[in-house]
Amino acid sequence: MYKKIMTVLVMGCAGFIIPALSVAEKADQDSVYLMQEILVKDTADIRATGQSVISGTVLENLPAGNATLTDMLKVLPGVQFDEAYGSAATGGEILPPEVSISGGRFYDNYFSVDGTGNNSFLDPTQKSANSLHEVPGHSMELSPSPDVLESLTVYDSNVPASYGGFTGGVVDAKTRLPDSEFSGSVFYRTTRDSWTRFHLNAEEEHQMQHSTSSRWQPKFRKENYGLRLDVPVTDTTGVLISFREDRSTIPLNNLGGTRDQTRRGQHFFMKGSALVSDSDSLDISFTHAPYEGEYFHSDAINNAYRIEGGGSALRARHLREKGWGSLDTSLSWRYSENNRYSQRATWYRWAITDSRDWGNASRVGSSSMEGGYGNLEREQDTLEANTSLTLSPFFLAGMTHTIETGVSFSRVKGREKRPEDVLIYTSPVTDNPNFTSDPNDFSLVPGEQYFARRQVLSAYDTEAEIQSAALYLSNTMNWKRLTLRPGLRISRDDYLENTDVAPRFSADYDLLGTGATVLTGGLNRYYGHAFLSHKLKEGRGTGTRYEWRTTYRNHVTEWRDAGGSETAWRFSDLDTPYSDEWTVGLDQRLMGGRLTLRYVERENKNEFARERGSYELDGVRYDTFTNKGESDYRSVRASWGRRWEDTEVLANISWQESHTRAVDFNDILGDEANASRVWYQNRLYYLDELPKGNYARPWVGNLTVIQKLPWNLSATAFLSWKSDFDEIRDSKEDMELPESEKERDPVTGEVLQESVPIYEKVVRKAFWQLDLRLKGKVPFGSRFAATWDLEVMNLFDTEIRTSDDTPLMGRQFWAGISLEF
Percent of the chain with pLDDT over 70: 88
Alpha carbon distance 378, 616 (integer Å): 30
Work out the average pLDDT over 121-146: 90
* DSSP string across 731-755: EEEEEEPPGGG-EE-TTT--EEE-E
CA pair distance 110, 130, nearest whole angstrom? 28
Amino acid at 166: F
Q: Which residue has the higher pLDDT, 807 or 36?
A: 807
Instruction: For residues 205-233, give the mean pLDDT.
Output: 95
Whether residue 671 is predicted with pLDDT greater than 60 in this model: the reply is no
Calculate the CA dihedral of residues 655, 661, 664, 668 and round it to 10 degrees: -160
The DSSP secondary structure of 371-393, one letter per residue, reads E----EEEEEEEEEEEEEEEEPP
Total length of the chain: 821
Q: Examine the pLDDT at 343 and tell me if it is beyond 50.
A: yes
Q: Is the pLDDT of residue 619 over 90?
A: no
CATH number at residue 219: 2.40.170.20
Range(s) of the domain holding residue 518: 42-820
For 746-804, write each residue's pLDDT tens digit. 555 565 556 888 998 888 889 999 999 999 999 998 899 999 999 999 999 999 988 76
Distance CA 716, CA 456 (A): 55
- Positive or negative CA dihedral for 588, 590, 594, 596? negative
Question: Quick one: DSSP state of residue 157?
Answer: S
Inter-residue contact 585 to 520 (CB < 8 Å): yes
Round the average pLDDT of the chain to a whole number and report it: 88
* pLDDT value of residue 752: 58
Q: Which residues contact 13 (CB under 8 A, 6 or more apart)?
A: none
Question: Of the candidates 642, 460, 599, which has an alpha carbon nearest to the alpha carbon of residue 537?
Answer: 460
Is the model's pLDDT at 667 over the cut of 50? no
* pLDDT higher at 4 or 77: 77
9 located within any domain: no
Q: How confident is the model at residue 38 (pLDDT cuts 50, 70, 90)?
A: very low
CB 86 within 8 Å of CB 146: no
CB 588 within 8 A of CB 536: no
pLDDT tens for 797-820 read 999 988 766 789 999 999 999 999
CA atoms of 810 and 800, how far apart (whole Å): 8
- 11-25 pLDDT, tens digit per residue, is 433 333 333 333 333
Between residues 534 and 558, the one the model is more confident about: 558
Q: Are 136 and 107 in contact (CB under 8 A)?
A: no
Query: For the chain, what is the domain count?
Result: 1
Better-scored residue on pLDDT, 135 or 42: 135
Provide the 10 A C-beta neighbour count for residue 30: 5
Nearest to 583 by CA among 630, 516, 637, 654: 637
User: Residue 626's pLDDT is what?
Assistant: 82
| pLDDT mean over 144-163 | 96
| Domain-located, residue 23 | no
Residue predicted with more confidence, 768 or 256 = 768
Q: Is the pLDDT of residue 1 over 50?
A: no
**Nearest C-alpha neighbor of 821 from the set 176, 175, 229:** 229
310-335 pLDDT, tens digit each: 999 999 999 999 999 999 999 999 99
Whether residue 21 lies inside any domain: the answer is no
Q: Which three-class secondary structure state does DSSP give residue 572?
A: coil
96 CB contacts (<8 Å, ≥6 apart)? 66, 68, 69, 70, 71, 138, 140, 143
> In this structure, is residue 74 part of a structural domain?
yes
Report if residue 328 sits inside a domain. yes
Half-sphere exposure of 171 (CA within 13 A, CB side): 28
Q: Do the bridges between strand 368-371 and strand 346-350 make them parallel or antiparallel, or are there none, so unpaired?
A: antiparallel
Radius of gyration (Cα) for the chain, nearest Å? 29
The dihedral through the CA atoms of 351, 353, 357, 361 has a sign that is positive
